[in-house]
């Protein structure tokens, strides 16, 4: 798929800085569910999963570090160029979960369920479950 180019604004949701894709852009993606993308924000490379917003569009969180690297603040407009990718990033696991997997000797079973199972063509069907498991603070943004 070719890159999709568009502009949008940084929004604040609670303490999170997020980017919400315009509905017309989300309609160009291969799924209404979670979609892994790669691309650029203001010409800086990034890769991230897009979360569905429940209204047909998608959003993703911008870390404070990445926002600072981009020299942006809430309300700023940004230029994006994105495309879906099949190369899912492996979520960072909390230390207690890592310890539990190792102590119970079930790391191989875990890796069979996550993106390590097939980095070239992973369809992401279990990734939403994994993300909800490891991101204890996950709360979807309220649509505006």
In three-state secondary structure terms, 26 is: helix
The reply to whether 79 and 55 lie within a common domain is: yes
Q: Which residue has the tokens 């063509």?
A: 121
Same domain, 66 and 126: no
User: Is residue 16 over pLDDT 70?
Assistant: yes
The answer to whether residues 42 and 69 belong to one domain is yes
Distance separating alpha carbons of residues 95 and 12, to the nearest angstrom: 29
77 and 8 within one domain: yes
Give a yes or no: residue 70 inside a domain: yes
Domain-embedded: residue 143? no
Over the stretch 101-110, which tens digit does the pLDDT of each residue have?
A: 888 888 877 7
140: pLDDT strictly greater than 70: no
Could you tell me if 36 and 77 lie in one domain? yes
Which range of residues forms the domain containing residue 45?
4-84
- State residue 134's pLDDT score: 54
Using an 8 Å Cβ cutoff, are 82 and 23 in contact? Answer: no
What token pair was written down for 42? 């203001």
Tens digit of pLDDT for each residue in 42-97? 999 999 999 999 899 999 999 999 999 999 999 999 999 999 998 877 777 888 88
Neighbours of 73 (CB within 10 A): 11
Question: What is the rounded average pLDDT of the residues 127-144?
Answer: 50
Whole-model pTM: value is: 0.67
Say which residues have a Cβ less than 8 Å from residue 13's Cβ, sequence separation at least 6: 141, 142
Instruction: Indicate whether 66 and 36 sit together in one domain.
Output: yes
Alpha carbons 28 and 3: distance in angstroms, whole number: 10
Both 73 and 117 in one domain: the answer is no
* Residue 78 shares a structural domain with residue 42: yes
Task: Kindly state whether residues 69 and 127 are assigned to the same domain.
Answer: no
Report pLDDT for 128: 56
Q: Is the same domain home to 12 and 72? A: yes
CATH number, domain at 55?
Answer: 2.40.30.100
Q: Is the pLDDT of residue 127 over 70?
A: no
Within this chain, do residues 67 and 46 fall inside the same structural domain, yes or no? yes
Q: Which of 65, 84, 103 corresponds to the end of one domain?
A: 84
């Amino acid at each position: 798929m070719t890159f999709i180019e568009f502009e949008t604004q940084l929004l604040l949701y609670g303490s999170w800085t997020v980017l919400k894709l315009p509905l017309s852009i989300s309609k160009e993606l291969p799924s209404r569910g979670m979609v892994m993308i790669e691309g650029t924000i203001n010409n800086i490379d990034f890769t991230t999963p897009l979360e569905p917003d429940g209204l047909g569009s998608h959003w993703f969180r911008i870390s404070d570090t990445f926002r600072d690297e981009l020299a942006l603040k809430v309300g700023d407009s940004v230029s994006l160029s994105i495309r879906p990718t099949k190369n899912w990033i492996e979520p960072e696991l909390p230390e207690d979960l890592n310890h539990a997997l190792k102590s119970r000797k079930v790391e191989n079973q875990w890796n069979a369920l996550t993106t390590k199972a097939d980095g070239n063509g992973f369809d992401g069907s279990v990734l939403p479950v994994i993300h909800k498991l490891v991101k204890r603070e996950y709360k979807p943004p309220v649509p505006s």
